[in-house]
Structure 1
Amino acid sequence: MNPPRPAPSEAPPLDALLERVRACTLCQGLPLGPRPLLQAGSGARILIAGQAPGRRAHLSGIPFDDVSGERLRAWLGLTRAQFYDASRVAIVPMGLCFPGTGRSGDLPPRPECAPAWRMPLLAALPQIELTVVLGRYALAWHCPGQARAMLADAVAAWLQAPGPVVPLPHPSPRNMAWIKRHPWFEAEVLPLLRERIQLALDTPGAA
């Protein structure tokens, strides 16, 4: 007997996966409850790999809907409309839900999240040309050889040999002291990063 044909309205693989991800309740005891936040389109060329949504993003339902997001968009040279265009930019943090707040800021991403969802999500994004990595948890996943490196060393290494994975400091106001201590970040890294962003978006076939 022939296998049943999918219904015409059946969701494409990525859409079906996103439905399952957004319904996830794997992490128990979250202070504001589960609300997975991400953005993805199968044709996206840029991947933003952050830590986890903050409280404001959790409440609004929009990733990077805060001061850190404004700074990140300025670093990347993207307008708000470009940044939130899922056909151009995917936003998949290491932890998809707000983990809560500790003494020195937000808590780390929940450890249950990445093993459950990260590989399937990245496999559903075959057109990614450039991955922007924010924070040490994302750095350890995407650049395991630099997991123990100082952030400045990881960023400087990319500047010397720009590759498809770009380690950056988190754009949180808490990291402004780091940026002041490393003036070459704004003077040398950001102009090159913006060039690479535009090159990725201008690749034939990009949205």
Structure 2
Amino acid sequence: MLDKLLSDIRSCTLCASKLPHAPRPVLAASAQARILIVGQAPGARVHASGIPWSDASGTRLRAWLGVDDATFYDDSKFAIVPVGFCYPGRGRSGDLPPRPECAPRWHQELLQHLGAVRLTLLVGQYAQQFGLGDARGPTLTDTLTRWQEYGPRVMPLPHPSPRNIAWFKRNPWFEADVLPALRARVSTALTSPA
């Protein structure tokens, strides 16, 4: 049933007329996945490769998580489900926001198949809006400084884009305090018995 759903998502053309290119939904999931990564939307390199997080942001994200490529791309360990499945194109200050059609159409049904998830990572402001709703802070930084308030099964993260280097430099507490806790939660989620 999940395989059919994933096939349907990968062949989706719901927002084709609003994209600057042919749709190419990019995601990975299995019913056994223990960690759910909710990102924003694929970037241009991911759109070209069809492989989630196959860019500089993905390299940084895997370093944050303390996992190698083989572990990250094992869909029995990580489900990778962006808010928008297709690359939305570029705007004046970077990639456009995720298309609004994906989440209402696909996410509820998809997430019902991910019952083994022990940890959900909300990467970037659009993912946090999707996953936290009104519980998120008024700014990204406020949401991230309150990361412990969301409990042991949910962690908001900044987007690991190279475009955010200035934010990382202004907020050294993220690397000092959040990343060790993130790596510990990832390790626990991947290794603890079901």
Question: TM-score of the superposition, structure 1-length normalised?
Answer: 0.90
Larger radius of gyration: 1
Q: How does 1:41-52 map to 2 (within 5 A)?
A: 41-52=30-41
Question: How many residues get paired?
Answer: 193
Return the alpha-carbon distance in structure 1 between the equivalents of residues 192 and 10 of structure 2: 30
Identity %: 56
Q: Is the CA contact (8 Å cut-off) linking 2:29 and 2:81 kept in structure 1?
A: yes
Q: State the Cα deviation string for residues 89-132 of structure 1 (Å, max 9, x = none).
A: 00000000010011101001001111000111111100111111
Q: State the Cα deviation string for residues 51-85 of structure 1 (Å, max 9, x = none).
A: 00011101111011100000000001110110000
The counterpart of 1:59, out of the listed 33, 36, 48, is 48
The counterpart of 2:2, out of the listed 1, 14, 19, is 14
Residue aligning to 1:133: 122
Residue aligning to 2:85: 96
Structure 1 stretches of 4+ with a deviation exceeding 2 A read 145-149, 159-163
The counterpart of 2:57, out of the listed 68, 82, 85, is 68
How much does 1:163 deviate? Answer: 2.6
Question: SS in structure 1 opposite 2:64?
Answer: helix
Structure that is richer in helix per residue: 2
Residue aligning to 1:182: 171
Return the alpha-carbon distance in structure 2 between the equivalents of residues 81 and 96 of structure 1: 22
Amino acid at match of 1:22: R
Return the alpha-carbon distance in structure 2 between the equivalents of residues 153 and 21 of structure 1: 33
Question: TM-score of the superposition, structure 2-length normalised?
Answer: 0.96
The counterpart of 2:28, out of the listed 39, 42, 46, is 39
